[in-house]
Structure 1
Amino acid sequence: MPHTRRSFDGLLAKVNFPLYTVQMLTNRHVIVGGGGGSAKTGVANGFEIYELSHDGEKFIVEEVIRHETGPSVVMNCSTYNDKKHSFLVAGQESHCQVYNVQTVLINNNVEVETLNPHNDIRNRKSKMVHTENHTNNIKKLKFVIKASDSVQTDFLEEEPLQRVVRISRLSKIMATGGTDGIVRLWGFPSLKPLHTLKAHKEEIDDIDFSPCQNYLISIAKDGLAILWDYTKGKEINRLTWQQPEGSKYLYKRCRFGVVEGEKGLSSLYMLANPTGRAGKQKSYLQKWIPKDGLLCKVAALDESLSALAVRDDGRFVALGTMFSGSVSIYIAFSLQRVLHIPGAHSMFVTGLEFLPVSSDTHTVNSIAEAAVLSISVDNQVCIHSLPFRSTLPAWLAIIVIILTIFLTFVLCSYLDI
């Protein structure tokens, strides 16, 4: 049976604008973005960065920086770190805006060091221990976000809009998709155009890069799911499945994940929603073997699905729902649900992000098996953790087996069997 939410999980922060995108910036810092759009509603547009910690009983967040983006709502974003720089890319209307992110060490509100974003911020943070005179010597991290290059990524004649952006960790390639149905590949951070993938006839819903192979998946409102070799800009295959008779399904989200214990292999997870609800059709969480185009596992749900995330080690998958605002965590290998949080949000879930796996004993790994952040247009940032599942010690299991065999033998002897 899946766990229910524990009392100290739930709301972390509430901002004054609807939220559409969430990313981990470091293993302790999360960035969320959204806004009210260009209409003069008085609702802001921009980003918030929070530092996340755990005090042994509950999660705590502290706002680090707020960056407003004027009239442009932030609908999607992605982050990238290399040995010298840290970048944030964001979909703002028809353009992709690149931001340089600098990390600064602050001591008593005075800048003392500009850090390399790729350096182990976790270790630096562990060194930021309050000294004996801790009330007078407190060191913290601060982020400085500066707008850099911008490039138009969607060219629909009426109301062009970038719907999604991703950056490959393998080859420094950025992919964008929008309402014109075209996936465009760019060199990053140069923004040099590389390939234009014209396979979809309607707007793109999602794209994702494989973490260990030259695969890119794209899904769109034309119902197609296409696997690409993004280094060559060529289609590999189209993923099809036997849909229930009389039903039509559209893919909503797609995410690659590494195969646990298998170096260099990836699995593909997708959400499929029915286009109509007349027959109360199920929605599906699907697991694919991308290279073979094989649908290997399916989990059926009674509600339309809206958000998807895969943990960086490939062990867990999380999904969010459309109508009830619920969040669930599944074991990636079996698609068995192990955590369910009904009504996590008052409106549909717009984004999910797992806390990364880390050896830092001060992060969530010391108090839970997994934790996922969720956002919604209800302006809330929430967190949901999976408690360590209890297991029977090996020595105790052996004793139980021996006792069972012994008692069975005694019972058989008593019954003269």
Structure 2
Amino acid sequence: MGSKKNMITDCLLAKVNFPLYAAEMLTSRHLLVAGGGGSAKTGVANGFEIYELYHNGKYFVAEEIQRHETGSRAVMNMSLKHIDRRALLVAGQEGHSQMFVISSKVGQLPTKETQISSRRESSSTEVRQRRRTESTSQDTPKSQISTTTDSSGNQMKRIYFDIKAADSVQTDFSTEPYQRVVRICLNGKFMATAGIDGHVRIWHFPRMTPFHDIKAHEKELDDLDFSPDGKYLISIAKDGIASVWSVNNGKEALKLKWTPPENVKYLYKRCRYSTIEGETDKYRLFTISNPLHKAGKQRGFLQQWNIETGRLNNIVSIDESLSALAVRDDGRFVSIGTMFTGSVMIYIAFSLQQVLYVPNAHSMFVTGLEFIPVLNKDAPPISSDAEASVISYSVDNRICIHSLQYRHTLPAWAAIFLIIVILFLTFLMCSYFGI
């Protein structure tokens, strides 16, 4: 599982040799991407790659620092939470949620004229399967750390990560179990999973013990998300229903309702809650929706919802079906990715005004999006000349970044001068008319 590093092209950060299905910002400066070829013996590896991101004054650069293989199971979805200076990563592998404990370390790596890798073999870990499953042994993971030297060839200290497999639980119980999505709530108390059996399961976290088992939908789930306060959970599925559930009692609290254009049936594709910039107790809800049948000129929609009534606050149409949705951690920007052209767009969250459009960023549909964070407290955010930057990834094996440059605004001195001029002209006009 290798990749090209230090890619400096306009959009491309890195290219890996396996399909990409999930990504998380491991720290404010480290990106973790995951995927793989699955259990088929195709020679395509399964697991994670970790990149360190930085801005060199002209563009973003991604340097691969570590890889971790997960044996015969690809990582199809994941969610991450920092607890007690460790990152707890829950990865969806077939019908299970597998937890990985990731600890950051600083050390000196072996020095050579060219980059070398030290491979560490982790012993096979017996994982605990709960709820109608038997214990199985975890495939032996492998971690690989690239090295860095200074211009004199001396050893350099840098951050790397110790990745260990921990507990595992079965989360989907259909005939051919498959977990479609996993989410950890912002306060770290609960985890939610959903698959193709139509159930939404809420778990205590990080113990991963059952809390609620909700028969939420008649068809397989597509997405889940917790509200920022951890009180609600939204689920969307291929039955065309979007329901909001009370985390406390597992009961339905709200159902999203709208009237699609020309009575065409639409399906929700992705859902995301977000905080509201400058507000501590308020939040927004976004979804993207696509027509069930791709005939004619039907469009995809980016939707912003009233969380009290379940009715639309705002809606924007896009010329094609949508595949990915992300909101920046401060709630200021929302980004979407498209299905057919692999394009990426950024919108202002409160108004849904488009501020960036990147056509054909990928050769296939955008699997997911991840904003460069601005609120992480583990380290200062990456300094750049961009107002917002979003990472996109796809099954075309490409990791790209798209930056919104700061929009030109009127300088403060010019605004003051303009106000003075307007007041002066108003005074002259009033004097002329004797007002």
Q: TM-score range by the shorter chain?
A: 0.7 to 0.9
Structure 1 CA distance for aligned equivalents of residues 167 and 343 of structure 2: 37
Deviation at 1:290, TM superposition (A): 1.6
Match of 1:56 in 2: 57
Matched, 1:247 2:264: yes
Q: 1:282 to 1:40 in 2, by over 3 A?
A: same
1:53–1:363 Cα contact (<8 Å) kept: no
Structure 1 CA distance for aligned equivalents of residues 174 and 204 of structure 2: 22
2:185–2:230 Cα contact (<8 Å) kept: no
Deviation at 1:357, TM superposition (A): 0.4
Q: 1:409 to 1:276 in 2, by over 3 A?
A: farther
Match of 2:136 in 1: none
Structure 1: where are the runs of 5+ without partners? Answer: 1-6, 112-129
Q: 1:248 to 1:404 in 2, by over 3 A?
A: same
Match of 1:102 in 2: 103
Deviation at 1:406, TM superposition (A): 7.1
Match of 1:71 in 2: 72
2:26–2:87 Cα contact (<8 Å) kept: no
| SS in structure 1 at match of 2:417 | helix
Q: Aligned match of 1:138 in 141, 145, 156?
A: 156
Q: 1:398 to 1:103 in 2, by over 3 A?
A: closer
Structure 1 counterpart of 2:92, one-letter code: G
Structure 2 CA distance for aligned equivalents of residues 308 and 206 of structure 1: 11
Matched, 1:192 2:209: yes
| SS in structure 2 at match of 1:399 | helix
1:364–1:370 Cα contact (<8 Å) kept: no
Match of 1:382 in 2: 400
Deviation at 1:269, TM superposition (A): 0.4
| SS in structure 2 at match of 1:80 | strand
RMSD of the alignment, in Å? 2.6
Once the two structures are superposed, residues 194-216 of structure 1 have per-residue CA deviations (whole angstroms, 9 ceiling, x without a partner) of 10111200000000011124011
Q: 1:403 to 1:368 in 2, by over 3 A?
A: same
| SS in structure 1 at match of 2:28 | coil
Deviation at 1:407, TM superposition (A): 8.0
Deviation at 1:408, TM superposition (A): 9.8
Deviation at 1:299, TM superposition (A): 0.8
Match of 2:223 in 1: 206
Structure 2 counterpart of 1:382, one-letter code: C
Structure 1 CA distance for aligned equivalents of residues 237 and 272 of structure 2: 14
| SS in structure 2 at match of 1:330 | strand
Structure 2 counterpart of 1:315, one-letter code: R
1:373–1:384 Cα contact (<8 Å) kept: yes
Q: Aligned match of 2:345 in 328, 340, 344?
A: 328
Structure 1 CA distance for aligned equivalents of residues 226 and 417 of structure 2: 48
After TM superposition, the structure 1 = structure 2 runs for residues 344-355 of structure 1, keeping only pairs within 5 Å, are: 344-355=361-372
Once the two structures are superposed, residues 226-251 of structure 1 have per-residue CA deviations (whole angstroms, 9 ceiling, x without a partner) of 00111221110111111112300000
Match of 1:118 in 2: none
2:57–2:384 Cα contact (<8 Å) kept: no
Structure 2 counterpart of 1:162, one-letter code: Q
Match of 2:358 in 1: 341
Structure 2 CA distance for aligned equivalents of residues 378 and 8 of structure 1: 17
| SS in structure 2 at match of 1:338 | strand
1:214–1:231 Cα contact (<8 Å) kept: yes
Matched, 1:227 2:244: yes
Q: Aligned match of 2:333 in 297, 303, 316?
A: 316
Structure 1 CA distance for aligned equivalents of residues 208 and 259 of structure 2: 39
Once the two structures are superposed, residues 7-29 of structure 1 have per-residue CA deviations (whole angstroms, 9 ceiling, x without a partner) of 96411111110001011000000
1:54–1:362 Cα contact (<8 Å) kept: no
Structure 2 CA distance for aligned equivalents of residues 343 and 44 of structure 1: 27
Q: 1:213 to 1:149 in 2, by over 3 A?
A: closer
Once the two structures are superposed, residues 93-128 of structure 1 have per-residue CA deviations (whole angstroms, 9 ceiling, x without a partner) of 0111111112111124499xxxxxxxxxxxxxxxxx
Structure 2 CA distance for aligned equivalents of residues 317 and 216 of structure 1: 19
Report sequence identity in percent. 57
Q: 1:94 to 1:108 in 2, by over 3 A?
A: closer
Matched, 1:373 2:374: no
Match of 1:165 in 2: 182
1:182–1:196 Cα contact (<8 Å) kept: yes
1:306–1:321 Cα contact (<8 Å) kept: yes
Match of 1:127 in 2: none
Q: 1:177 to 1:300 in 2, by over 3 A?
A: same
| SS in structure 2 at match of 1:38 | coil
2:329–2:375 Cα contact (<8 Å) kept: no
Match of 1:19 in 2: 20
Structure 2: where are the runs of 5+ without partners? Answer: 1-7, 112-117, 119-148
Structure 1 CA distance for aligned equivalents of residues 85 and 402 of structure 2: 33
Matched, 1:28 2:29: yes
| SS in structure 2 at match of 1:245 | helix
Structure 2 CA distance for aligned equivalents of residues 270 and 182 of structure 1: 20
Normalising by structure 2, we get a TM-score of: 0.84
Q: How many residues align?
A: 388
Structure 2 CA distance for aligned equivalents of residues 200 and 264 of structure 1: 29
Q: 23-32 vs 58-67, which deviates more?
A: 58-67
After TM superposition, the structure 1 = structure 2 runs for residues 392-407 of structure 1, keeping only pairs within 5 Å, are: 392-400=410-418, 403=421
Match of 1:281 in 2: 298
Q: 102-111 vs 399-408, which deviates more?
A: 399-408
1:64–1:143 Cα contact (<8 Å) kept: no
Normalising by structure 1, we get a TM-score of: 0.87
Deviation at 1:401, TM superposition (A): 5.2
Structure 1 CA distance for aligned equivalents of residues 59 and 152 of structure 2: 23
Structure 2 counterpart of 1:22, one-letter code: A
1:252–1:271 Cα contact (<8 Å) kept: yes
Structure 2 counterpart of 1:305, one-letter code: L
Structure 1 CA distance for aligned equivalents of residues 341 and 382 of structure 2: 27
2:186–2:230 Cα contact (<8 Å) kept: no
Match of 1:45 in 2: 46
Q: Aligned match of 1:218 in 235, 246, 250?
A: 235
Match of 1:91 in 2: 92
Structure 1 CA distance for aligned equivalents of residues 277 and 265 of structure 2: 33
Q: 1:71 to 1:108 in 2, by over 3 A?
A: closer
